[in-house]
A = this chain, B = another copy of it.
Amino acid sequence: MTSALKPGVHCISATPFLPDESLDEASLKTLLDYLVGGGCDGVVMLGVLGEADRLTDEERDRVLHGALDHADERLQVSVGITHSSTLVTAARARAAERAGAVSVMVSPPPGSAAGPALTDHFKRIAGGLANPVIVQDHPASSGVKMPVEFIASLYDLLPPNSIVKLEDPPTANKMSKLLELQPDFQVFGGLGGVSLYHELAAGSAGAMTGFALVEFLVGIVSSYQTGDIDGAFQKYEEALPLMVFEAQPGAGVALRKEILRRRGAIAHATVRQPAPKPDAFSLDALDQLLARIPDGVPA
């Protein structure tokens, strides 16, 4: 029996570190509890926010198994497995499925381009998988532009219930075009939630992103899905100043970890180096933004 992702909120998880930058496995547990408590349907380990490219293979395994163990049945656990080699990506996909991950997320490898070679890449990864693949369309991190026709063409060679995490702006337009071409794809938005309201209007199944105040993601999506469009917009409007602030290039991971730390979800805001750390000005701006959010963050 194959799995499928629940519509709703699948939060991209941070990877917690101790001050010496080693893995903080205790905080991984509290972070997952935080996501459960915030109402998330699932979690995606080892994405961009998870600093996946700054881990060793052995650390990747510890993060994935740690998450699967602790989440238990409370969250659907997916995992990013992007690698430059088809062979290695395919091996990671099979290993993740065996370990219990509900789906695997794959970006086009750096330097690839929409075309037959990239199609083969996805086809080989899909071979022998029962569970869905999340195709991540995020040119800002991959450097690869995938036209909507190319993405649509992947559906038939991926496992049932496969997904597109669509992060190529303007996202809502591209979603609506993709769903015209291939209505069977399940589509989620990302990019910190900054276009979430429009993405839901375009047919998105929810949010797959790492905005730290997850209850806002959950609130926007569930309001929209139950028909309370005005309520969804109001929550979107309330969250947007922080969403925009977090989503600025070169700042997001550290700011999100800082919010998670203040809320008690993780013990340290440490980011693996080299990476920008928030300066005093940014932390002050963060204070102000959080203070303006109703029930935002304990001091």
Question: Which residues of chain A have a CB within 8 Å of any CB of chain B?
Answer: 21-22, 51, 53-58, 83-88, 91, 109-110, 112-113, 115, 117-118, 120-121, 124, 145, 147, 169-173, 176-177, 194-195, 197-198, 201-202, 233, 236-238, 240-241, 244-245, 248-251, 272-276, 279, 281-282, 284-285, 288, 292
Contacts and interface: CB of A to CB of B under 8 A. Distances in A.
Nearest to A17: B87
Contacts of A284: 201
B145 A249 contact: no
A51 to B, nearest CB: 8
Contacts of A22: 87
A296 to B, nearest CB: 14
B117 A176 contact: no
B292 A120 contact: no
22 contacts: A21-B87, A22-B87, A53-B85, A54-B83, A54-B87, A54-B88, A56-B91, A57-B57, A109-B274, A117-B274, A120-B274, A169-B250, A169-B251, A172-B281, A173-B279, A173-B282, A202-B281, A233-B292, A237-B238, A237-B241, A240-B244, A244-B244
